[in-house]
Chain A
């Protein structure tokens, strides 16, 4: 072997070339700076196995390449000195006589080194990239935190806004109530005053006799009040009528034919105007029917103004109206006029007269009050209307009866679940006064069943119930009805219990024994969607001439009423405002509205809004008077 270093392969190669016996097959080149493989076949078969332990020429060439040997190509024009087949290899340091240079022949690494270098470079760039990413991540995290904080702040703000809204709402309700009470108080004051002027017979308008600074606002308050009255009276009468509906078949049937324009009457006359059929009944009084051709006059027992106005505005809107004259009332002294108004959401009771109590039969003759009613086609003076013992009316008034009926667009349907008959009765009574349709379940199972078959707007659920308690009933109901508000009525209002109720799907808690106010607030909270949104802008304002003794409307379209009516109205309405059921059960007859002041307001509305569809606009301007959808299925 050799005493010099260098890679084994190079040494083997050198040694192989030193062997002269192979010179025909492989030898140094002519200049000694290259070597030539002359016979590839022989080289592959004999020499390679001997020196390199393989017989693969290609791999030998590859090996050479690795050590940076280069094949010397023969140019085409000069013949190779070693023959066509010869392969000549050259390496600058591989020379015949320079054995010591073999050390310097190294395996080629540049490519690898390059790679490594590039990897290093890559690593460097990766590192910078990484830090970049890292900082990006950091930035993003920071941003995220900021966003979160911002969101937090926003939701906090949102909550406080909601809270404010709720408070505002509460305040609004409270204000409403306050207004109501105020109005009530003022009206009562007025009534007392006028009562003293009236005695048995009404004379003179309050405006004349008691010129107070309150008058204009009083008129407005009267108006507002009258809405309340109408609302309550409507409801009461609906109740009354629905109770009687069974015995008076035609009423029931009329109500069922909801969209047909039907007039049913037992007496009186029908005047049809613009698809409005109208029926007047004045059994004990002179009938105005022969005169009411173009317009419509309604005379109910103690007032006529409002119904007439309702109807005239209806006629303006050419709405279909069904007037039901209660057959029952024709036998009585009173009339009941119900206009079923098939607009918007089903039927609306627009005007309800009243069912005069029996007392009035005796007093009616003595208490007739003249009212002049004029319409555009004819002026007919209608000897009007009894006032049933005004004295009594003012005497029975109760200040505390100041609840107002919320202005429902549709009366909420309430399911009252209680096994206690006392609560059933009180609850239904309250709900009835609030203008709700009521159904009662006496235990949990029937509550679940009822919920299964009917849709309610609100459920008042006692907790301790036979068969299935309120909590479990609620759990079951929630399986098929996740939405209907269920209020827990309970005397057990510890925090723990309340949490239990709420976690079982109840929406709120109404402590027992509940008060009227509590119940009302629940109703208003959970049946808000059924309320008519008040729009105070459209409330007719009283004109400055409100206290004129007699007013003739400029358009002759409305009614000028005797001032007495005003008084009449004042004293008559009192008990009604105070006690909802007086409408049909007690002496003072229900007055929807009356007085020239109201007429003026009405005419103002009609005139200014060019045939304002007063009733059609109910959703807007009817802030106190609910649209009643007559539900005759009211369960009591």
Chain B
């Protein structure tokens, strides 16, 4: 907390307006705004800590996913997919969440609807493609969020 009140960066309602225009499929703003609402002030301490926490967790999870894929451990992949799906959903990272859900299904040897069975080989192939895609989506989200907070900090 600075010792002097920082001049208000913008009129009060603007920050959400700014947010909601771009990347609307990348981020579910309703969810993310809910986090921002919990912030105490313009520092975004709370939401930032959540997001950073998520980054950390996501990267660890990606590491585990790589390893599980190497080990051809579909069960583990499904679990990891579920796990990352949860935290992504909490932040509102729609794309990442959707892909993680797919991974969860593939890990259970079903197609992305979760209804039809697929072969183990099929599942592993799909997951390895998917994993790269999720990572890209995650990178996109990460960049966006980092920019978002950088902008806040600078203003």
Partners in one complex: yes
User: Which residues of A pack against B, CB within 8 Å?
Assistant: 357-359, 361-363, 388-389, 391-392, 394-401, 419-423, 425-426, 429-430, 433, 462, 464, 491, 512-513, 515-516, 579, 581-582, 585-587
| Chain B nearest CB, measured from A176 CB (Å) | 19
With A361-B3, A491-B89, A512-B86 already in contact, the answer to whether A426 and B35 are too (CB < 8 A) is: yes
CB–CB A359/B4 < 8 A: yes
Decide if B79 is an interface residue (CB 8 Å cutoff).
yes
With A359-B3, A362-B3, A363-B5 already in contact, the answer to whether A422 and B41 are too (CB < 8 A) is: no
Decide if B149 is an interface residue (CB 8 Å cutoff).
no
**What is the CA–CA distance of A394 and B5 in the complex, to the nearest angstrom?**
13
**What is the CA–CA distance of A256 and B12 in the complex, to the nearest angstrom?**
42
Q: Looking at the complex, which one of A392, A395, A400 makes contact with B11 (CB distance below 8 Å)?
A: A395
Residue of B nearest to A582 (CB): B40
Which residues from chain B contact A433 at a C-beta distance below 8 Å?
38
Decide if B75 is an interface residue (CB 8 Å cutoff).
no
Q: Known A-B contacts: A422-B53, A516-B34. Give 8 more (CB < 8 A).
A: A399-B13, A420-B87, A425-B49, A426-B90, A429-B46, A464-B82, A513-B90, A515-B34
CB–CB A388/B13 < 8 A: no
Residue of B nearest to A392 (CB): B5
Decide if B22 is an interface residue (CB 8 Å cutoff).
no
| Chain A nearest CB, measured from B94 CB (Å) | 11
Q: How many residues of B contact A (CB 8 A)?
A: 40
Which residues from chain B contact A389 at a C-beta distance below 8 Å?
5
Residue of B nearest to A517 (CB): B34
Q: Looking at the complex, which one of A362, A516, A582 makes contact with B41 (CB distance below 8 Å)?
A: A582
Q: Looking at the complex, which one of B16, B56, B85 makes contact with A400 (CB distance below 8 Å)?
A: B16
Q: Looking at the complex, which one of A359, A397, A581, A586 makes contact with B12 (CB distance below 8 Å)?
A: A397
With A396-B8, A399-B13, A400-B33 already in contact, the answer to whether A579 and B41 are too (CB < 8 A) is: yes
Q: Looking at the complex, which one of B8, B79, B89 makes contact with A392 (CB distance below 8 Å)?
A: B8
**What is the CA–CA distance of A233 and B62 in the complex, to the nearest angstrom?**
41
CB–CB B13/A358 < 8 A: no
CB–CB B90/A422 < 8 A: yes
Which residues from chain A contact B91 at a C-beta distance below 8 Å?
422
Which residues from chain B contact A419 at a C-beta distance below 8 Å?
83
Decide if B57 is an interface residue (CB 8 Å cutoff).
yes
Residue of B nearest to A575 (CB): B41
CB–CB A398/B12 < 8 A: yes
Residue of B nearest to A511 (CB): B89
CB–CB A425/B3 < 8 A: no
